[in-house]
Amino acid sequence: MKIGINNGVETLVIDSKTGRFTRLDINYTGSNAWLCTGAVILNNFGSIVRELNLTQFANVCKTNPRSLFHKNGKPKFRVTDIDHGTYRIQMCPVPKTVWTKE
């Protein structure tokens, strides 16, 4: 399954089996050095309240994508990745929409 995340300017597509990123705005497919590991769910103050692995994140995106956003549209989640061995939480760009495709 593919997970698409759009911030209004660019779209990241994540392969939920491999974790590889593709950026559609610049037609770039990431290497094995840049992999998605899942997502974190944040509370209203920005503290992490739950971590999702890639499979769990894909399931939430598929079954209930609205649960990833507050009523005002602000996202509750941030994507996590490993880039050249460094674990990161992507704080920017802020996601606006999420979609899935088999």
Residue-wise pLDDT for 63-89, tens only, equals 999 999 988 888 999 999 999 999 999
- Asked if 101 and 1 count as a contact pair (C-beta separation under 8 A), the reply is yes
Asked if residues 18 and 10 have their Cβ atoms less than 8 Å apart, the reply is no
What residues contact residue 7 under an 8 Å CB cut-off, 6+ apart? 93, 94, 95, 96
Q: Is the separation of the CB atoms in 46 and 56 below 8 Å?
A: no
pLDDT score of 36 more than 90 = yes
Percent of the chain with pLDDT over 90: 61
What pLDDT is stored for residue 46 in this prediction? 86
Rounded to an integer, the average pLDDT of 35-41 is 94
Q: For residue 93, what pLDDT is reported?
A: 66
With a CB cutoff of 8 Å and minimum separation 6, the contacts of 78 are: 39, 40, 42, 89, 90, 91, 95
Query: Would the pLDDT of 92 be above 80?
Result: no
Q: What was the pLDDT predicted at 79?
A: 93
Establish whether the linkage from the previous residue to 95 is cis, with ω within 30° of 0: no
